[in-house]
């Protein structure tokens, strides 16, 4: 048995970047290790109120903490060409060697539509993602060897180039997925998987598919990174915890896909339909730290290497202190 790695999910949709950095540093002082921060152009709903640039925030976090850090997640398409994502990730790793990772995902229209391009259906978005993963991996490998490379694929072109600032070791590429097809592709193409809290049977299925994909590619899934982001709501009373969920994170109670929604104002209208029972099986809402401890432990027992916790309320400092004292010391792998 060992003490697991439990990180802090810095929600840039909710907090000003300087506050997010301060909270991440505070979390580390209370036993959290590592930071996951999302690449959002807009918040989910207007009440969340923020959406800072993730790479700036991660750099500031790197200066003020000692744990791991990475974007959870960047869409390497639409707003970004994969080569630009590779450059940002390589630079972060060059500055904080051995601490960073690159989280990638298919993206949502909420963030990606701002450049005004065509927003394709889910199948094409997945194909773009995994082509981008391969392009980034190729660019990392060539740059580490000090040589140029190029790419001409279905969705991306890259003329002959390299990353001139390249760390000794490339950051691992982790792919976020919540579906079986992409979980298997992730095992084949990436270094690890990121997923979000869900019923255990679904999580187990995703990890099984991920392992199948890894074995398809001749890799050992047991040695690959498995990351969970867990949204939760804790407050001193159950009533406060529920109010925080409904007010601050109503998107957590929306069971339908949200990838095609373009505006926080549209989601705010949908949020008016969210009821307390909609969070069941999707997010633990409780004032009891032991209820949350048991939930986190259940995911660790599934084999996750790292779990990044997001308390959806504004009561971050109180939550960090309570979990640092009553939850983290009791967790085991």
Catalytic residue numbers read 40, 108
The DSSP secondary-structure symbol of 69 reads E
Cis-peptide into 237, omega within 30 deg: no
**C-alpha to C-alpha distance for 314 and 17, rounded to whole angstroms:** 14
Beta carbons of 227 and 174 less than 8 angstroms apart: yes
The pair of structure tokens assigned to 210 is 């991920």
- Pairing of the two strands 102-104 and 173-176: parallel
The residue count of the chain comes to: 333
How far apart (Å, rounded) are the C-alpha atoms in residues 231 and 252? 8
For 192-256, where are the E strands, in sequence order?
A: 192-196, 225-233
Mutual orientation of helices 200-216 and 180-189 as an angle, nearest 10°? 40
Asked if 102 and 174 touch (Cβ cutoff 8 Å), the reply is: yes
- What is the distance between the alpha carbons of residues 177 and 183, in angstroms, rounded to a whole number? 6
Cα distance between residue 131 and residue 216, in whole Å = 18
Q: Burial level of 290, CB count in 10 A (0-12/13-18/19+)?
A: exposed
Contact 161, 142 (CB under 8 A): no
């Amino acid at each position: 048995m060992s003490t697991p790695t439990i990180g802090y999910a810095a929600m840039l949709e909710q907090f000003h970047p300087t506050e997010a950095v301060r909270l991440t540093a505070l979390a580390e002082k209370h036993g959290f290790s590592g930071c996951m921060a999302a690449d959002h152009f807009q918040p989910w709903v207007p009440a969340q109120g923020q959406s800072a640039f993730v790479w700036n925030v991660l750099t500031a976090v790197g200066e003020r903490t000692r744990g791991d850090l990475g974007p959870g997640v960047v869409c390497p398409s639409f707003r970004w060409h994969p080569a630009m994502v590779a450059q940002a990730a390589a630079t972060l790793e060059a500055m904080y060697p051995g601490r960073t990772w690159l989280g990638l995902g298919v993206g949502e229209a909420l963030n990606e539509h701002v450049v005004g391009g065509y927003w394709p259906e889910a199948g094409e978005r997945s194909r773009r993602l995994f082509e981008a993963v391969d392009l980034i991996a190729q660019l990392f490998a060539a740059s580490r060897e000090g040589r140029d490379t190029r790419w001409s694929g279905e969705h991306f072109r890259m003329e002959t180039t390299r990353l001139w600032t390249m760390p000794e070791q490339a950051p691992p590429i982790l792919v976020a997925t919540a579906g079986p097809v992409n979980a298997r592709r992730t095992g084949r193409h990436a270094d690890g998987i990121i997923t979000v809290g869900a019923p255990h049977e679904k999580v187990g299925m995703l990890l099984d598919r991920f392992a199948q994909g890894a074995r398809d590619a001749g890799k050992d899934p047991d040695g690959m990174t498995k990351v969970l982001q867990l949204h939760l709501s804790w407050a001193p009373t159950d009533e406060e915890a529920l109010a925080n969920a409904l007010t601050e994170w109503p998107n957590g109670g929306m069971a339908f896909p949200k990838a095609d929604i373009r505006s926080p104002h549209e989601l705010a209208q949908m949020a008016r339909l969210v009821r307390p029972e909609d969070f069941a099986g999707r997010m633990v809402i409780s004032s009891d730290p032991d209820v949350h401890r048991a939930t986190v432990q259940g995911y660790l027992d599934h084999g996750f290497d790292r779990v990044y916790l997001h308390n959806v309320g504004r009561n971050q400092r109180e939550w960090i202190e309570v979990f640092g004292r009553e939850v983290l010391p009791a967790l085991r792998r």
